[in-house]
Amino acid sequence: MTFTHLDESGKATMVDVSEKQVSRRSATARSIVSLPAEVLEQFANGDIQTKKGSVFQTAIIAGIMAAKKTGELIPLCHPLGLDNCHIDVHLNEHQEVVIDCTATITAKTGVEMEALVGASIAALTVYDMCKALSHDIVIRETKLMEKTGGKRDFRRT
């Protein structure tokens, strides 16, 4: 196994996708945000309302915008026009914010990075909008949950 973003001499390179087949590709990434009690106390009707507005709705918009700009943020990512980007934000049974970002495209390259960037920026937006209440907010993890299309599928169990 070799790194795909290194050429024969070990220098950074963009992956050449010109010979790849176009296929429908999808990826879902998840970020988990732990909120302290003083922030959770503000949770009502499926969201947290602040002076800046709805936390979860703003995080969704930020995540979608970020996913669309992944090629501008990650140096060796291809610039892609996503077919769709969907973000779900909810509290789980542990009172953590769960952010799932699913990106889809019909293209020669996958959208894992777009999903990861979307989930990450949505998590950072939750932090930004709630930090006035507490700095004890922790973005615990961001990980790829599944991907389809391309050489091989992946699903985290």
The residues, any chain, with a CB within 8 Å of residue 85's CB and separated by 6 or more, are: 63, 64, 67, 68, 101, 102, 103, 104, 114, 118
d(CA 65, CA 67): 6
Strand partners, 120: none
The CA-atom distances, in angstroms, between 14 and each of 104, 108, 117, 134 are 21, 14, 18, 41
Question: CA–CA separation, 119 vs 98, rounded Å?
Answer: 9
Identify the sign of the CA torsion 11, 5, 66, 132: negative
Active site (annotated) includes residue 83: no
> Which residue out of 16, 128, 136, 153 is catalytically annotated?
128
Query: Which residues are catalytically annotated?
Result: 128
